[in-house]
Amino acid sequence: MNELVFFVNNVVIAGSVTGAIYAIGAIGVTLIFSIMRFAHFAHADMMTFGAFMVLVLTTAFPGIGMGIGVPTAIVMLPIAMLLTALLAVGIDKTFYKPLRAHGVKPIVMVIASLGVTLILQGLIRLFAGTGGQGLYVDDRKAIFRMLPFEDVRVPIVITEPQVYLFGITLLAVIALHLFLSRSRLGKAMRAMSDNPELAQASGINTNTIVAVTWVIAGGLAAIAGTLLSLDVTFKPDLSFFLLLPIFAAAIVGGVGHPYGAVAGGFVVGFAETLAVFNWAVLLRPFRDSLPTWLELPSNLAFVGTEYKIVVPFFILVAILVWRPTGIFKGKVI
Amino acid sequence: MPLIEARDVYGGYGGMNILNGVDMSLEADEVGVIVGPNGAGKSTLLKAVFGLLHVNQGDILLHGKPIQNLPPHQLVERGMGFVPQEKNVFPSLTVQENLEMGAFLKPQNVKRMLGQVYEFFPPLQEKRHQPAGELSGGQRQMVAMGRALMAEPSLLLLDEPTAGLSPLYMNEIFDRVKHINAAGVGILMVEQNAKQALAIADKGFVLAAGQNRFTDTGAALLADPDVAKSFLGG
């Protein structure tokens, strides 16, 4: 039974955590692509910016959360979402809008977003330094330990930020679903993604839709970046290293499909954790029934943890080669 | 005052003129049909009216006010609806969502106009929760026309509404066009099925090489042996 708990901790929980963060990041990437038709590489640094705003606000007012029993960082998250949304709209106005007005090719936008990545990373490093900093400033990270069965020694471990991560991810996905399926602007967003010329001919102001897209993408980026930094620590390049898995998730789900991005996020997240999981642990209880010539190695993982990044890369290449439209038949990048 | 008027319009893509001095005028309650051989500039004229193409010279007037080179969403606000020939629905949106998008600028009208559009196109009501991309060509055309009607236009522009439809649907669409016109909407359409279209037209414009060749009532054009010989296939 201890082995099962080990599996739950290292695959079920760890996979859900990674998957949820990839999912929120991938929704933003996929929305931006479906409205503006380019791969927004600066998305990860918008995540970092959101987390950085939370860090700044939490450092400035460390005690606020204590009074209501919520980590201060979570209290500050809505403000950080707003600020990141403003940043996203500002970046669009300054860098992407003039390029769109010239009718440039998507690759030009992609390169521009690479430039934005460098600007954002540099600016954040300038103010935050390069080291890691915890987003728990005054409050302490609560860790919940549960013993599911009587005779186990190892508990199932889940931390407070992980609980918030699952809750907020669920909330964000439901809110996005309601927005896209019920609201006038949400439907107009889907319409523009389907057929931009016809959206314009229907009287939909496409500039408004573009701005709304950046607000949503910025808000979601702040959520993903903050929850990631809460779970580990804040670092200026933490989110940047998630860029590849996030794009893999968006492509696996079918670019342009928000629900596909959620599915893709969890597929990539679980693929990563399953690939680095030490399967020998699960086989150990059956050691006695194995034939004597079969020696069970101590580590039986597909890839070592240090090579985890290979997994989304492999998935990305495999999907692009065999099913370039993703699981939900998205657009081909 | 005519509902829509084009005076000596020159226009085209990238400096090249496709329209070489076209005149066209339509009263408020009329059906106007633009016919002519391929490459005559029929669709180009329609696109010029809807601001999708640069007018280099001449005037286009809606209710007597110049509108040439205004962006499409401003023309929708001024009472113009446009149904493109291809890609004229939002395939992943449901039929009803497609229609709602047509009334994007007038959200307070959605309920009332939905009722009216479903009256014009009864088959759409039962399909209202189905994605428009799953419909047949004829039903898509109905969704496209319904979408444009949602904004309560005074002028509806139709670019080859019967292209690729079976004869059964073709008659259905012409029939609907008459109904919509009877409800007080002026209609300007480009048609390949010239004989059937001219039969319901108050005014017909026969274009060739970007210029007016014949302009008359639909009935007169149908009766004219010259028009019949050169443009209606005998």
What is the domain partition of chain B in residue ranges?
1-78+156-233, 84-151
pLDDT per residue of chain A (333 residues) written in tens, 0 to 9: 788 888 888 899 999 999 999 999 999 999 999 999 999 999 999 999 999 999 999 999 988 888 888 899 999 999 999 999 999 999 999 999 999 999 899 999 999 999 999 999 999 999 998 888 888 877 778 888 888 777 778 888 999 999 999 999 999 999 999 999 999 999 999 999 999 999 999 989 889 999 999 999 999 999 999 999 999 899 998 889 999 999 999 999 988 889 999 999 999 999 999 998 888 888 877 777 777 777 777 778 888 888 888 888 888 888 888 888 887 776 655
Q: What is the Cα–Cα distance from A107 to A113, expressed in whole angstroms? A: 10
The CATH architecture that domain B1-78+156-233 belongs to is 3-Layer(aba) Sandwich (3.40)
Q: Does B91 touch chain A (CB under 8 A)?
A: yes
Q: Give long-range contacts, CB 8 A cutoff, 24+ apart: A130-135.
A: A130/A235, A130/A236, A131/A235, A132/A232, A132/A233, A132/A234, A132/A235, A133/A55, A133/A233, A133/A234, A133/A235, A134/A233, A134/A234, A135/A51, A135/A54, A135/A55, A135/A58, A135/A71, A135/A73, A135/A226, A135/A229, A135/A230, A135/A233, A135/A234
- Considering CB atoms only, which of B50, B77, B90 is closest to A194? B90
Q: Which residues of A touch B99 (CB under 8 A)?
A: none
Query: In the 3-class helix/strand/coil scheme, how is A105-122 assigned residue by residue?
Result: CHHHHHHHHHHHHHHHHH
Task: Give the nearest chain B residue to A329 (CA atoms).
Answer: B92
Q: Does B174 touch chain A (CB under 8 A)?
A: no
How many residues does the structure list for chain B? 234
Q: Which residues contact A106 (CB under 8 A, 6 or more apart)?
A: A37, A38, A39
A202·B102 Cβ contact <8 A: yes
- What three-state secondary structure class fits B129? coil
- Please tell me the distance in Å from B225's CA to the nearest CA on chain A: 39
Task: Give the nearest chain A residue to B84 (CA atoms).
Answer: A198
Number of Cβ within a 10 Å radius of residue A112: 20
Domain ranges for chain A, please list them.
2-322
Amino acid B32 reads: G
- Please tell me the distance in Å from B80's CA to the nearest CA on chain A: 10
Question: Does the domain spanning A2-322 belong to CATH 1.10.1740?
Answer: no
Task: Give the nearest chain A residue to B153 (CA atoms).
Answer: A202
- Considering CB atoms only, which of B87, B98, B151 is closest to A203? B151
Q: Which residues contact A289 (CB under 8 A, 6 or more apart)?
A: none
Q: Does B114 touch chain A (CB under 8 A)?
A: no
Q: Which residues contact B223 (CB under 8 A, 6 or more apart)?
A: none
Q: Which residues of B touch A188 (CB under 8 A)?
A: 101, 104
Paired tokens of B107? 């959200």
pTM of the model: 0.89
Q: Which residues of B touch A184 (CB under 8 A)?
A: 100, 104, 107
Q: What is the Cα–Cα distance from A97 to A108, expressed in whole angstroms? A: 12
Task: Give the nearest chain A residue to B74 (CA atoms).
Answer: A203
Q: Is the ipTM here above 0.90?
A: no
Q: Which of residues 191-220 of B touch A (CB under 8 A)?
A: none
A195·B91 Cβ contact <8 A: yes
- What three-state secondary structure class fits B3? coil
Task: Give the nearest chain B residue to A194 (CA atoms).
Answer: B90
Paired tokens of A43? 């998305």
Q: Does B134 touch chain A (CB under 8 A)?
A: no
Amino acid B48 reads: A
Q: What is the Cα–Cα distance from B110 to B113, expressed in whole angstroms? A: 5
Contact B221, B204 (CB under 8 A): yes
Q: Which residues of A touch B93 (CB under 8 A)?
A: 187, 190-191, 194
